[in-house]
Amino acid sequence: MMDMAALKLELVDMVSSAQDMTSLEAARVAALGKKGRITDLMKNLGTLSHEERRSAGAELNLLKDEISALIDRQSQQLRAQELQNRLANEEVDITLSPRPEVRGSIHPISQTMDELLTIFDGMGFTVAEGPDIEDDFHNFTALNFPIGHPAREMHDTFYLPDDERKDGEAQKKLLRTHTSTVQIRYMTTHKPPIKIVCMGRVYRADWDMTHTPVFHQIEGLVIDKTTSMAHLKGCLSQFVREYFEVDDLPVRFRPSFFPFTEPSAEMDIGCSRKGGELKIGAGDSWLEILGCGMVHPNVLRNCGLDPEEYQGFAFGMGIERLAMLKYGIPDLRTFFESDVRWLSHYGFDPLNRPNRATKI
């Protein structure tokens, strides 16, 4: 019978020097496999005397268990090591853009909003905000749309499921169809003088070249004791001239109707359409740009303001329309398609300041 201690040393050395799973498996086969060292010796036990077989058998079994346990431990260590190596090698830097060829740019709507804010801020307006999910009161009733008034139908409103109310009356919830809701929210919580703009998403069930179910509006509201139609005209004329960067841009006001303003008007800016190309500035044609008017006395009353004491004007316009006109974007729907090719064509350099914008 061979020297067990020497065999043990040899096998332990073989197993612990295996540095990957393939050599560890080779070591296992060499020790415990069908033709392995320990297996061989076990086969030879039959040739020994009874006494020798007993003690050699016990020793061999012990050795077999020790080597098996050693192989298990070594295997666990190697697997852990392998995992560490893979984690180190396959490390992903998630702070890097996966598509470095696509440079981020500012969406024309964000750019236009920044430009609008820059102009109105310069005129002394502050920004007010309101929720997208509104109720019938703020979207219609307080704005002087009587129940059943046809103007409610014109808005193609998205209604949400009614809230259960304790008093049994259902509260109609809807997605605001215009930012005029913010006029109401602001007037019911602030005393004049008021000079605010509000920008944000509005929703109407409509979809074609010039309508999308969600779009953006900017709304302005000025309330004081002597604010007049002349202030409205001055403010909006100045605004379009700054926004379109045309100092002598002609404007005209046409009578119109909104339930919440009286008198109401639509404002047009001058343009030319020679050769089928739209050019903003003095020309032979006009382009409608916004709705406006003097806040209706009923609206002031609905917000707790005395129309004998206060008066003012409001205006509202579509931000996409402003962006389309200034930057020559032909189809409204493309604003919402998130096409990176469109964005890299119409987008803006993030490092440029509004109104000094250069296209990238």
Which residues in the 160-199 window bind ligand PHE by CB under 6 A?
Answer: 178, 180
Give yes or no for a contact between 293 and 314, defined as CB atoms under 8 angstroms apart: yes
The Cα–Cα gap between 196 and 218 comes to 10
Q: How far is the CB of 292 from ligand PHE (least distance, A)?
A: 5
Q: Closest CB to ligand PHE among 7 and 265? A: 265
The Cα–Cα gap between 126 and 199 comes to 11
292 interacts with ligand PHE by CB under 6 A: yes
Name the segment binding ligand PHE (CB under 6 A); options: 15-23, 242-250, 287-295, 296-304: 287-295
258 interacts with ligand PHE by CB under 6 A: yes
Question: Any residues with CB less than 8 A from the CB of 18 and at least 6 apart, and which?
Answer: 24, 26, 27, 74, 78
Report the first-to-last Cα separation within the chain, whole angstroms: 86
Q: Closest CB to ligand PHE among 256 and 352? A: 256
Task: Please give the C-alpha separations between residue 3 and each of 7, 59, 62, 177, in angstroms, as whole numbers.
Answer: 6, 11, 14, 93
Q: Closest CB to ligand PHE among 271 and 314? A: 314
Which residues in the 323-352 window bind ligand PHE by CB under 6 A?
Answer: none
Question: Any residues with CB less than 8 A from the CB of 10 and at least 6 apart, and which?
Answer: 37
Chain-centre distance of CA 210, in angstroms? 23
Q: In 3-state terms, what secondary structure has residue 346? A: helix
Q: How far is the CB of 261 from ligand PHE (least distance, A)?
A: 5
Q: Which of 36, 108, 293, 347 binds ligand PHE (CB under 6 A)?
A: 293
200 interacts with ligand PHE by CB under 6 A: no
CB-based closest residue to ligand PHE? 316
The Cα–Cα gap between 14 and 56 comes to 22
Binding track over 207-226 against ligand PHE, x by CB under 6 A: ------------x-------
Which residues in the 82-111 window bind ligand PHE by CB under 6 A?
Answer: none
Contact residues: ligand PHE, CB under 6 A: 178, 180, 219, 258, 261, 291-293, 314-316
